[in-house]
């Protein structure tokens, strides 16, 4: 039975408001940015000179590689670190889960700038980390963690961990307990149960969380700007900011933003396609099942 014309009109009216907000606050600014990136000058005219400048300069290309390389590293570390936490949450009692949820969500209670400043205190030359390492005899003198990629990776992982843990916990919650019991009855130990049952069945959740973490890290501006030190300018969001606010080159800054957006969308689309294919779980199961 086909819906009445009135129902279709009402449904369209309900969609009109969010579509208007999406267009006005998201799509329109992106369109303006892309248009700005291909303007020859203030009088108009089409040009690809700004893109040619980016891809013809090894400095900007290395910045692109650094941005995506750090994002991939942060994603990998976050996935590995999140599995024990998500598994602990999954196997915990109801009362302990309530406590763990509060701890997992606690980073969201503070602004990202506040969290970054907290890490700046921890990672400084006179901070707790250097003090502990010197007390243990691991280092002879303080290390400047704030001048390099170390601090960026530390803070980015801390920022992304709750998202990944919650997504993995959701994937774990969908596992049928009978599958685990059947594996144990067949003689599989805890390690093999994890490799052959838990890991393959949670791969889609890990990939979904990885997409989210990767997106957050690639687009991050505050983290590299505040804790990146001398390498802050190697990240594309910071480069875009410098071109727009310092160099006053809006067109080139817009081109950097468009390149960052396009490369991020391509990366996410490829990962999303892998998730939709649904083959990774079976591949992992076959590889570790023997």
Q: Which helix (H) or strand (E) holds 39?
A: strand 39-41
Q: Which helix (H) or strand (E) holds 45?
A: strand 44-46
- Complete domains list, the chain, with CATH: 58-289 (1.10.3720.10)
Is residue 259's pLDDT more than 50? Answer: yes
- Stretch among 41-45, 52-56, 93-97, 191-195 having the lowest mean pLDDT: 41-45
pLDDT tens for 103-135 read 888 877 778 888 888 888 888 888 898 899 888
pLDDT of res. 42: 60
Whether pTM > 0.95 for this model: the answer is no
Question: What is the C-alpha separation between 128 and 41, in angstroms, rounded?
Answer: 52
pLDDT of res. 21: 75
Residue 86: which of 171, 157, 13 has the closest Cα? Answer: 171
pLDDT of res. 277: 66
pLDDT of res. 283: 45
Q: Which helix (H) or strand (E) holds 210?
A: helix 199-218
pLDDT tens for 23-64 read 777 778 888 888 888 887 666 678 889 999 999 999 999 999
Tell me which residue has tokens 């691991």. 138
Dihedral (Cα; 120, 123, 124, 129), 10-degree rounding: 140
What backbone phi and psi angles, to 5 degrees, belong to 2? -75, 145
Q: Which two tokens stand for residue 191?
A: 């390690």
pLDDT of res. 285: 45
pLDDT of res. 233: 87
Question: What is the C-alpha separation between 236 and 61, in angstroms, rounded?
Answer: 10
């Amino acid at each position: 039975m086909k819906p009445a014309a009135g129902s279709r009109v009402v449904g369209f009216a309900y969609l009109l408001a969010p579509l208007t907000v999406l267009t006005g606050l998201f799509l329109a600014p992106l369109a303006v940015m892309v248009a700005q990136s291909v303007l020859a000058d203030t009088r108009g005219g089409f040009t690809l000179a700004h893109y040619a400048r980016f891809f013809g300069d090894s400095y900007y290309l290395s910045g692109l590689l650094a941005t995506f390389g750090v994002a991939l590293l942060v994603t990998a570390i976050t996935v590995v670190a999140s599995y024990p936490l998500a598994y602990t949450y999954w196997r915990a009692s109801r009362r302990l889960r309530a406590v763990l949820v509060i701890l997992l969500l606690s980073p969201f209670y503070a602004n990202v700038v506040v969290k970054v400043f907290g890490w700046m205190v921890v990672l400084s030359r006179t901070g707790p980390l250097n003090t502990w390492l010197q007390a243990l005899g691991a280092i002879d003198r303080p290390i400047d963690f704030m001048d390099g990629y170390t601090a960026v990776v530390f803070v980015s992982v801390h920022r992304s961990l709750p998202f990944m843990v919650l997504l993995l916990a959701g994937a774990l919650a969908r596992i049928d307990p009978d599958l685990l019991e059947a594996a144990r009855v067949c003689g599989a130990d805890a390690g093999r149960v994890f490799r052959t049952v838990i890991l393959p069945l949670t791969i889609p959740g890990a990939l979904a969380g990885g997409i989210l973490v990767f997106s957050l890290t690639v687009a991050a501006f505050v983290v590299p700007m505040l804790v990146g030190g001398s390498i802050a300018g190697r990240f594309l969001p910071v480069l875009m900011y410098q071109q727009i606010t310092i160099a006053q080159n809006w067109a080139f800054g817009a081109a950097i933003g468009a390149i960052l957006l396009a490369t991020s969308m391509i990366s996410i689309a490829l990962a999303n396609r892998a998730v939709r294919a649904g083959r990774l779980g079976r591949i992992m199961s076959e590889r570790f099942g023997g």
